[in-house]
Chain A
């Protein structure tokens, strides 16, 4: 199975800051990577798919990059509603796997 490792596990930031979250795959997954946001008590929401494609309706302050084994999610100009937990997910091969999550907290 492909292991997905996110870093950091948690990060504190302020409204208006720029934040970057990293996801590393245990083997080459090309661009088969997605990012999800989960607010407390809510279902996850797809932000980015195919490593860098913005899902419809998602604000442009969210962006994704990378290919192969190393990927990043960047949130520019943090808004109050962005404080949540973020997960990466690989879709290169079954079984699909998620990273352990990165909790973005208000500083």
Chain B
């Protein structure tokens, strides 16, 4: 069974940094792209970033480009989202998700349970 478990969320001050982690199990991790999608309280879904299985390709939403980086450690079956220069509008539940198809970077399934990031002074 595929499992995605996020961690690292919490309260951070504006301008601060935070690193989210997503531990994966139940599939050949290096064969699948991994993404982060966020959801502000009471709002819709916003795609944040994706990284290919090898880690050679990464893409970002315009709203986080230059502030967030995505990386993965295929030996640890873990993907990371390093967030810096955080703003109040980054407050959201951050979901980790994988593409259901090998070597693709298009769809999201399944999803983790999410981790809440709150940016506030």
Majority secondary structure, B binding face: loop
Which residues of A lie under 8 Å from residue B110 when comparing CB positions? 43, 45-46
Which of A32, A36, A49, A91 sits near B45, CB closer than 8 Å? A36
Which residues of B lie under 8 Å from residue A89 when comparing CB positions? 45, 47, 107-108
**Smallest Cβ-Cβ distance to A99: which chain B residue:** B44
Which residues of A lie under 8 Å from residue B114 when comparing CB positions? 43
Which of B50, B59, B107, B112 sits near A43, CB closer than 8 Å? B112
Known contacts A89-B47, A96-B47, A97-B47: A44-B62 contact under CB 8 Å: no
Which residues of B lie under 8 Å from residue A43 when comparing CB positions? 95, 110-114
Does A23 sit at the interface, judged by CB under 8 A? no
User: In the complex, are the beta carbons of B107 and A95 less than 8 A apart?
Assistant: no
Which residues of B lie under 8 Å from residue A45 when comparing CB positions? 109-111
Does B106 sit at the interface, judged by CB under 8 A? yes
- For A, the interface residue count at a CB cutoff of 8 angstroms equals 23
User: In the complex, are the beta carbons of A46 and B47 less than 8 A apart?
Assistant: no
User: In the complex, are the beta carbons of A46 and B44 less than 8 A apart?
Assistant: no
A97: shortest Cβ distance to chain B, in Å? 7
Query: Binary interface profile of B, 37-48, with partner A (CB < 8 Å = 1, else 0)?
Result: 100000011110
**Distance of A67 Cα from B45 Cα, bound (Å):** 22
Does B61 sit at the interface, judged by CB under 8 A? yes
User: In the complex, are the beta carbons of B44 and A44 less than 8 A apart?
Assistant: no
**Distance of A56 Cα from B110 Cα, bound (Å):** 11
**Distance of A32 Cα from B44 Cα, bound (Å):** 20
Chain B residues proximal to chain A, CB less than 8 Å: 37, 44-47, 50, 59-62, 95, 100, 106-114
